[in-house]
Amino acid sequence: MFYIIDSDFPDPSLADEEGLLAIGGNLEPETLLKAYSMGIYPWYSDDEPILWWCPNPRLVLMPQDVVVSKSMKQFLKKNKFKYTIDEAFANVIDACRNKRLDNTGTWITPEIKAAYIKLFELGYAHSVEVWEGENLVGGLYGVQIGKVFFGESMFSYQSNASKAALIFWCMHCIQNGIELIDCQQSTHHLKSMGAIEISRQEFLHQLENLIDN
């Protein structure tokens, strides 16, 4: 049985086998921040109501454990890219959306974009931009609460650009006390870079310790 969100989210442990927890509600900043602080995130298509998820297991990356392959180290030494933070947030979202529309569709609806721009304006959402010359060729965005960064999406228009964005962000996290990156769903790409699966229970326990109350 699923829950229609009114003002409170149900216990994340009530999510079904696929991780679906609740249906409905809104994407106002206070709703999103409450959801993330409980380990819950929205993911749905244009033709669906808002769906809220808390999967088990959960893919996470400890910034200090990011894997930089020998070939990637050699690539980074060439300094082909330059990196910025929070300089083109809306452009990064658009690129993530467009990249997925070219493939299998996207959950980054206009409503989602507007909601995360609000979080960005409030200082909770952040983006990494990877540039080749004047061209935006890769990046990622997500939400930071306390010592946790909840990664939402990444894109790459050039080989290694999304990997470079993640490595750059991990270095930033280490320098700024961010101890956990939530990768949400498992992918081979992220696992190859050091992300690991942990149980939902362990993930929620870590959130309690890392999110500022």
Which residues in 15-29 are b (16+ Cβ under 10 Å) and which e?
A: beeebbbbeebebee
Residue 77 zone, left/alpha/beta (φ > 0; ψ -120 to 50; rest): alpha
Whole-model pTM: value is 0.94
Which of 209, 178, 183, 213 is CA-nearest to residue 196?
Answer: 183
Task: Please write the tens of the pLDDT for every residue from 33-69.
Answer: 999 999 999 999 888 899 999 999 999 999 999 999 9
Give me the pLDDT at residue 104, please: 52
CB atoms within 10 A of CB 10: 17
Instruction: Based on the fold, state whether residues 68 and 157 are members of the same structural domain.
Output: yes
Q: Which of 56, 79, 98 is the last residue of a domain?
A: 56
Task: Please write the tens of the pLDDT for every residue from 103-143.
Answer: 555 679 999 999 999 999 999 999 999 999 999 999 999 99
φ/ψ (deg, to 5) at 133: 65, -125
CATH code of the domain in which 107 resides:
3.40.630.70
Residues spanned by the domain of 89 = 59-210
The residue count of the chain comes to 213
